[in-house]
Amino acid sequence: MSDALYAEIESFVPASPEETQAKQKLLALIREYGDRILDRDCPAGHITCSGYILSPGLTHTLMAYHLIYGSVGWTGGHADGDPDLPGTALREAREETSVTRIWLQTRRILSIDVLPVPPHEKHGRPVAPHLHYNVTYGLIAPMEQPVAAKPDENRDVRWLTDEKVAAQCTEPQMLPIYQKLTQRMRRIAEEKRRIPEHMPAPLLEWYASSHRDLPWRHDTTPYRVWVSEIMLQQTRVEAVKGYYARFLNALPDVQALAACPEDQLLKLWEGLGYYNRVRNLQKAAQIIVNDYGGVFPQKYAAVRALPGIGEYTAGAVCSICFGMPTPAVDGNVLRVMARLREDFRNVLDPAVKSEVQETLAAVYPGKDCATLTQALIEIGATVCVPNGMPHCDACPLRTLCMAHLCGSAGMLPVRIKQTKRRTEERTVLVLRCGDRIAIRQRPKKGLLAGLWELPNTGGILNEEQAAALAAEWGVQPLGFEKTVQRRHIFTHITWEMTGIFLTCGTMPEDFVWADAQDLENVYSLPTAFRCILE
């Protein structure tokens, strides 16, 4: 028996006698059949997983018209041996609707229902009546993305209001389930919304007795806080301590920083790296001296406008030094908030960061803004840590934390880099002379630096243009062999390649002329070019 599967079902808290009965029946079947309950051939029925998808505002439900049932309904499908039930719900939701941006509202199970399945045909084969022990999870998906049905099972995927769900669902036994799921997801959303309101008091009490003794906390004048925050970007706290003391000893105020010779400035920064930080630090110091009379500006917009100061640093300076309700939201704070509210949105999405800033600003106390900013940073650095499980036993927020209560802390935060690849068209020439082909070495810098390549050029050439280019290279093209089309995907770029094979009469020394053995053992020809030859 799978202990993890049993624990997953055991964690569900029923809200009706029917759900209690369904849970107990499923637990009994897991004890009897073990992981076989995940497979379709289990004689007593089997587990299926559904995703009930609401819009971020919880106003619309994403449903598909199911061909088997003749009605609009939720997404879902068979576990087929996979004990990752929420993962199955997400996978099925993506397959049946084609949505790409979708996430769990919560790790907790929303409902367990026993659903009789009538006899039907699937892929031309009869399916006997059986039972689905359906485990449902709440999912959230933005409405503005494209949707499309899975043609062999569904059609007409669409967003529906509550009223339209009630009007278009022709399965009377399913409508009460959909209604309870909508109500539960709205109730969970309200629970999450209220959590930050209760956060400041226990966090401030914890910080008073548990914070680290760091040198930049002894003197919170703007200059010192600002210097520390710039140093702490991309650099560990322990590494910064010594540099911070040395820097302030040499440049104790903004005037000294503004007037410091560049050689001395860079020497003071030596070893910290990312030298643009200190160059911008000095540029900002010179603006403060020239435009503000050497007095650090005390308005958020003015601080934010200084070179090298982003939203995080501006928030830190304004809250710690001037008592403003301006949160300093970095990776630590995003992680704390993601776990606290069990938020499965991508924390690398700028819209998520903006929402966290607004949420925190609304709950900042009338006083102690400075302490709350530092407490949020501190708990993320020392308790709700990255790269591992948080120290929940030491956390003052554990009774509020939805991820702790739902067992999902290890799954959060979600970090998905949104990389946009550009597409580049290239023509690659395979120049043959006997059993040898022309290759050349790429530049020492840039993409595929220093590796060997087939001669190529930007854009798409036809056969005549390719032959003319080959003639310019001095290879004496004699005839055309064939053209192939290939695609190669790099991290940030996709090459759409046309490979043109030409027979050549000369082997100029501008190229290396390699045979098959050379390409196998001597020259490193990357996949981007090797695929042309395959």
Domain boundary among the residues 388, 411, 434 is at 411
pTM of the predicted structure, to 2 decimals = 0.74
Any domain includes 208: no
Any domain includes 41: yes
Considering the domain architecture, whether residues 426 and 406 belong to the same structural domain is answered as: no
Domain boundary among the residues 160, 194, 228 is at 194
Any domain includes 201: no
Judge contact between 357 and 333, C-beta under 8 A. Answer: no
Helical packing angle, 200-210 and 369-382, nearest 10°: 70
Considering the domain architecture, whether residues 57 and 119 belong to the same structural domain is answered as: yes
Considering the domain architecture, whether residues 455 and 378 belong to the same structural domain is answered as: no
Domain boundary among the residues 384, 411, 438 is at 411
The span from the CA of 360 to the CA of 57, in Å, is: 20
Model confidence at 419: pLDDT above 70:
no
The span from the CA of 380 to the CA of 374, in Å, is: 10
* 144 is a catalytic site residue: no
The span from the CA of 356 to the CA of 334, in Å, is: 7
Range of the domain at 406: 217-411
Any domain includes 203: no
Catalytic residue from among 8, 92, 153, 229 = 229
Any domain includes 253: yes
Model confidence at 120: pLDDT above 70:
no
3-state secondary structure 34-48: HHHHHCCCCCCCEEE
Residue 160 forms beta bridges with which residues? Answer: 61
- Look at 366 and 29; give whichever has higher pLDDT: 29
Confidence of residue 154 (pLDDT cuts 50, 70, 90): confident
Establish whether the linkage from the previous residue to 413 is cis, with ω within 30° of 0.
yes
What sign does the dihedral 386-392-393-398 (CA atoms) show? positive
Considering the domain architecture, whether residues 189 and 242 belong to the same structural domain is answered as: no
Residue 313 φ/ψ, nearest 5 degrees: -65, -40
The span from the CA of 43 to the CA of 151, in Å, is: 29
Confidence of residue 492 (pLDDT cuts 50, 70, 90): confident
Considering the domain architecture, whether residues 406 and 457 belong to the same structural domain is answered as: no
Model confidence at 68: pLDDT above 80:
no
Confidence of residue 124 (pLDDT cuts 50, 70, 90): low
Instruction: Give the whole-number percent of the chain exceeding pLDDT 70.
Output: 98
DSSP conformation class of 102:
-
Considering the domain architecture, whether residues 405 and 436 belong to the same structural domain is answered as: no
Residue 53 φ/ψ, nearest 5 degrees: -105, 120
| Segment 70-110, tens digit of pLDDT | 889 999 988 888 999 999 999 999 999 999 999 999 999 99
Q: Which range is least confidently modeled, 120-129, 181-190, 217-226?
A: 120-129
* Distance linking the first and last C-alpha atoms of the chain: 48
pLDDT value at residue 451: 78
Judge contact between 103 and 140, C-beta under 8 A. Answer: yes
Q: What is the CB-side half-sphere exposure of residue 295 using CA atoms within 13 A?
A: 5
Considering the domain architecture, whether residues 377 and 258 belong to the same structural domain is answered as: yes
pLDDT value at residue 123: 59
| Segment 266-319, tens digit of pLDDT | 888 888 878 889 999 999 999 999 999 999 999 999 999 999 999 999 999 999
Over residues 208-231, the mean pLDDT reads 96
The span from the CA of 180 to the CA of 485, in Å, is: 53
Residue 88 φ/ψ, nearest 5 degrees: -65, -45
Considering the domain architecture, whether residues 41 and 172 belong to the same structural domain is answered as: yes
Considering the domain architecture, whether residues 404 and 488 belong to the same structural domain is answered as: no
Cα angle: 90, vertex 91, 94; to 5 degrees: 85
Cα–chain-centroid distance for residue 422? 20
pLDDT value at residue 122: 64
Judge contact between 338 and 402, C-beta under 8 A. Answer: no
Over residues 438-446, the mean pLDDT reads 88
Residue 398 φ/ψ, nearest 5 degrees: -65, -30
Considering the domain architecture, whether residues 352 and 474 belong to the same structural domain is answered as: no
Considering the domain architecture, whether residues 390 and 432 belong to the same structural domain is answered as: no
With tokens 């032959």, the residue in question is: 467
pLDDT value at residue 491: 65
Any domain includes 199: no
Largest CA distance in the chain: 86
Report the chain's C-alpha Rg in angstroms. Answer: 31
Instruction: Give all strands (DSSP E) within 180-336, no chain letters.
Output: none
Over residues 398-414, the mean pLDDT reads 93
Any domain includes 255: yes
3-state secondary structure 486-515: EEEECCCEEEEEEEEEEEECCCCCCCEEEC
CATH of the domain at 405: 1.10.340.30
Considering the domain architecture, whether residues 232 and 354 belong to the same structural domain is answered as: yes
Residue 113 forms beta bridges with which residues? Answer: 134
Count of domains forming the chain: 3
pLDDT value at residue 175: 94
CATH of the domain at 435: 3.90.79.10
Judge contact between 87 and 94, C-beta under 8 A. Answer: no
Alpha helices of 276-423 — where are they, by DSSP H?
Answer: 276-291, 300-304, 311-322, 331-340, 350-363, 369-382, 402-406
Residue 309 φ/ψ, nearest 5 degrees: -110, 115
Residue 121 forms beta bridges with which residues? Answer: 126
Any domain includes 92: yes
Q: What is the mean pLDDT of the chain?
A: 92
Instruction: Give all strands (DSSP E) within 93-252, no chain letters.
Output: 103-104, 111-117, 120-122, 125-127, 130-140, 154-160
